Structure 1
Amino acid sequence: MSTEKKIAWVVIVILLHCQVRCAWAISISEERKMAKEFMEAISMQNKLVKDPMAVALVSEVGRRIVAQLPPQPFPFSFYIVDNGQFNAFATPGGNIFVHRGLITSLDNVDELAGILGHESAHAACRHVSQMIDRSKVVNMGTLAGVLAGVLVGAAGGADAGQAVAMGAMAVGQTSMLAYSRENETEADQKGILLTQAASFDPRGLLTGLEKIRSRDWYGSEKIPGYLKTHPGSADRIVYISSWLDQHGDETEPDNGIDPFRFDLVKHRLAGLYGAVDETEQEFNHLLEKNPNDPAVHYGMGVLLPRVSRLDEALVHLRRALSQKIFDPYILLETGHVYLLAGDGKKAFDLMAGLEKIPAIATQATYYQAWALWMMGKGDKAERGLLKTIQTAGDVFPKSYYFMADVARQRQQTDQTHYYLGRYYYEISAFKNAVFHLKKSIALLPDGEMKTGAREMIGQMEKQKKKKRG
């Protein structure tokens, strides 16, 4: 029997073992309901990273791992939380979350795969539903709030996230969120096999855990959330090391993901969301060690526009391109900086053809449409703007603003108000959103736009009531 078949067989055996042991967990329908409530709680906190390039990489790694599983009761989805902590978590219904702080602290895609493999194993074995079943003293809506609070935390630390959890349930109930050591061992065993079967280096889980564990010296208040909810890390490291000594060389990692792409995403997340001064200092420190590191120069190119240092950003992006000529991800970000600098033509010329690359297709389409709008070619920009709105309007809300301007130039007052209302709705400027949406309802003929405007007003009223309650 080949190594690949052995791995597949062991995975199936472990899965069957999980399914037998999980017979007493909450029902599939209950878990689906809770997953829906949980995602609603998460969306209200506006803490998910929507950057297409970063999300595409995490989702691609996750999909490769989940593809090794037999059919599951839930479709697996992978998300990035805008939080600098070291944490990752599986939640009801096959939703897997990893904090950006964990991603930016890892060294390679195999470490990310190791963490995602472990969390996917928790989901496949329905360990989360077991924990929920043990806590039926509270209702599922409350538990959804608890999980959302513990998972998301706060931009400045864990205290706010803990407050959300404690407000949702009595003190002591949050211990429900910690996996048992038996759960952890099971997830490690299965996670390693899944990542290996997906052609990632299984050593990634070990080195990833070691990085998380290295933060333990900060003290109990600063221990990464991952260690609080995933106990026994020291014993787990010993077990995983022993397993790797016996089986770690059985497969040759060949997952097809360019290691440089992971480096770009890692530094992109730091550049987009990290504290500017601290991140710049860290990038400069890395460049002192390796002055020609294209991924770090790229990170600088992402970071510096946040403080309007566009010329410096372009210098770093050109340095990155000097090492990685025609790299599409670096070209795309260079085009973005030219857009910010007001040079639509240079941006458009630089990004030609990038919309054909799946991981950045939507982003490239949006930037190209933005460039055309900037050059006064609204009619040509419209197609790209509408395509962006259809697939990722919440990610690129300014596409609605540009469409409002296109409608204004055509003297389409009803659509101008609709698109402005949608723009303000997406950026949570609800007072302005309601004003323009009501104007659009009065002017628009019956149809999809008018219905959408009414639905948005209804959603804003619903959110207002929830905040009051």
Structure 2
Amino acid sequence: MERKAPLLVVCLLVLSLFLGSPSAWGLDLKEEKELGREILKTIRQHYRLINDQEVAGYVQSVGQRVVKSLGATHYDYRFFVIDDGTPNAFAIPGGYVFLFRGIIELMDSEAELASIICHEVAHVQARHVKKMLEKGRVLNIAAMAGALAGAFLGLQGDAAQAIAVGSMAGAKSLALKFSRENEEEADRLGFRYLCAAGYDPYAMVSIMRKMNRMGWQSDSRIPSYLRTHPALGERLGYLELLAQNAATSHATCTVRDPMGDFPLVQAVLMSRHTDPAVARDRFRAWLHDDTHRVGAAYGLGRLALDKGEVKEALGYLRRAAAWKPDSVLILSALGDVYHKMGRLDEATKALEEALKREPDSPVAHLRLGLVLQDQGRWQQALQHLKKAESLAPYNPLLDYHLGILYGRIDQLGDAHYFLGRYYQRTGNRKLAAFHYEKARSHLPESDPRQKKIDDALKGPHKKERPG
């Protein structure tokens, strides 16, 4: 995928369009959240998000584990994976955190994933982007609008980037990088969140050191993270000192398995982004390596399932479960395979066990909902699908299944609304309009979704990049 402009620049450009006059630069919390939603729409239209149930659901679960460590917060955090090999991550106002596939592929553990999430969440909690914007009140909004159009609606690559940056030449007071003070505050807060979530504080040092090394290698792309998060090389000593202090002053810091289900997610990404034959050979070789065998068995099970070889998939997943019996992803995958084999009681048992271990697993809730639906237990199925949707609300697959289930229980307004949203998100304008019109006729006039339907039916619909 060709990059259109540095993502932090793009986010600032989008924000500027909605801020309007200079008097609007003082954002309150409600406006900040609205801006975040608008930026999210733009990102979803121009960047491919990974909606794979295992990958997106896993990152969301780790993110929510971090959020629980915050205590009270003003934000409803959501976590996304962008399907791009660049090692990058960023957060936008309102609590939306994005990790690129490239930065996940650089990691070696769940603790490193949690570290980056903690750092980005800290930037949101401290409202750093909002503060940068308030310093940039002299921006020429018309020029910014032109830059956004050049970046998104016509020019590609270097030309779009040149217009984006050139349009901001007069914005002397707007910093396009977090300041050293911003970073140190995010480091302190991030370490605190990481310890509270039960992860090894040294994980933040290890992942930052890997990205810093990439920046010094002439044959590798400089991670975007180094452009937007400055002075990483200088800060490594400070980060290590923070980790040492955290390790000595917080007895409960390291209570979680630092690996978690991360090797399984790596296997999913490999099976998705590597030639299947190459991935299969690599997994088979790894079966004989104790450090990689669980991920290898899981990856082979997934590849078999993709080919419809359900019995072979079950064999590999059972091997993975024998080596890692407490894995939520393995239990969830077993439930999926049992479901496909028509062994609904075994599927229910495996998925319920997964939810005992991780009550906020979107993929386990989704799969259990589908099993319960096939058992005719529709109200219970609906509870699990709604829970999955609340945990991972931007998954078109969930919209589809909710629409079908609501239709089965004769709640036609809800059924047509979710099917309309499914077709809107997958780019079928005709079917989206059909279902939205049906939903509008069935839902009460006071239903807040009526406005969303009206907005969706106005003007041309922009297709979101498929996941």
Say whether the fold is shared (TM-score over 0.5): yes
| Consecutive unaligned residues in structure 2, runs of 5 or more | 1-24
1:179-215 alpha-carbon deviations (Å, 9 max, x no partner): 2344334433453455346553322221111121232
The aligned residue for residue 424 of structure 1 is: 423
* Aligned AA (2:177): A
Cα distance change, pair 172–264 in 1 and its aligned pair in 2 (3 A): same
Q: CA deviation at 1:297?
A: 2.2
Rounded Cα–Cα distance in structure 2 between residues aligned with 1:56 and 1:176: 33
The aligned residue for residue 260 of structure 2 is: 261
Q: CA deviation at 1:462?
A: 4.5
The aligned residue for residue 113 of structure 2 is: 112
TM-score by length of 2: 0.71
- SS of equivalent residue, structure 2 residue 248: coil
Q: Give the stretch that moved more between structures: 214-223 or 51-60.
A: 214-223
The aligned residue for residue 459 of structure 1 is: 456
Rounded Cα–Cα distance in structure 1 between residues aligned with 2:26 and 2:439: 46
* Aligned AA (1:319): R
1:170 aligns with 2:170: no
Aligned runs of 1:362-377 on 2, under 5 Å?
363-374=363-374, 377=375
| Consecutive unaligned residues in structure 1, runs of 5 or more | 1-24, 151-158
Rounded Cα–Cα distance in structure 1 between residues aligned with 2:143 and 2:280: 41
Rounded Cα–Cα distance in structure 2 between residues aligned with 1:311 and 1:162: 49
Rounded Cα–Cα distance in structure 1 between residues aligned with 2:107 and 2:287: 18
- SS of equivalent residue, structure 2 residue 79: strand
Aligned runs of 1:248-327 on 2, under 5 Å?
248-254=247-253, 256-263=255-262, 266-267=265-266, 270=269, 274-277=273-276, 280=280, 283-284=283-284, 286-290=286-290, 293-325=293-325, 327=327
TM-score by length of 1: 0.70
Rounded Cα–Cα distance in structure 1 between residues aligned with 2:226 and 2:295: 30
1:84-125 alpha-carbon deviations (Å, 9 max, x no partner): 322122322444333343234322333234323333343344
The aligned residue for residue 133 of structure 1 is: 134
Cα distance change, pair 178–162 in 1 and its aligned pair in 2 (3 A): farther
Rounded Cα–Cα distance in structure 1 between residues aligned with 2:283 and 2:213: 21
**Alpha-carbon contact 1:79-1:97 (below 8 Å) kept:** yes
Tell me how many residue pairs correspond in the alignment. 419
**Aligned with residue 52 of structure 1, among 54, 57, 64:** 57
* Aligned AA (1:289): D
**Alpha-carbon contact 1:421-1:432 (below 8 Å) kept:** yes
1:240 aligns with 2:239: yes
- SS of equivalent residue, structure 1 residue 222: coil
Higher relative contact order (CA 8 A, sep 6+): 2
Cα distance change, pair 251–455 in 1 and its aligned pair in 2 (3 A): closer
Rounded Cα–Cα distance in structure 2 between residues aligned with 1:166 and 1:224: 19
Q: Give the stretch that moved more between structures: 78-87 or 444-453.
A: 444-453
- SS of equivalent residue, structure 1 residue 178: coil
- SS of equivalent residue, structure 2 residue 212: helix
- SS of equivalent residue, structure 1 residue 235: helix
- SS of equivalent residue, structure 1 residue 98: strand
- SS of equivalent residue, structure 2 residue 235: helix
Cα distance change, pair 162–41 in 1 and its aligned pair in 2 (3 A): farther
**Alpha-carbon contact 1:54-1:265 (below 8 Å) kept:** no
Rounded Cα–Cα distance in structure 1 between residues aligned with 2:336 and 2:90: 33
**Alpha-carbon contact 1:138-1:169 (below 8 Å) kept:** no
1:216 aligns with 2:211: no
- SS of equivalent residue, structure 1 residue 351: helix
* Aligned AA (1:54): V
Rounded Cα–Cα distance in structure 1 between residues aligned with 2:407 and 2:106: 42
Q: CA deviation at 1:229?
A: 1.2
Q: Please report the RMSD computed on the Cα atoms of aligned residues, expressed in angstroms.
A: 4.5
The aligned residue for residue 20 of structure 1 is: none
**Alpha-carbon contact 1:417-1:439 (below 8 Å) kept:** yes
**Alpha-carbon contact 2:355-2:364 (below 8 Å) kept:** yes
**Alpha-carbon contact 2:198-2:252 (below 8 Å) kept:** yes
Rounded Cα–Cα distance in structure 2 between residues aligned with 1:259 and 1:110: 5
More helix by share: 1
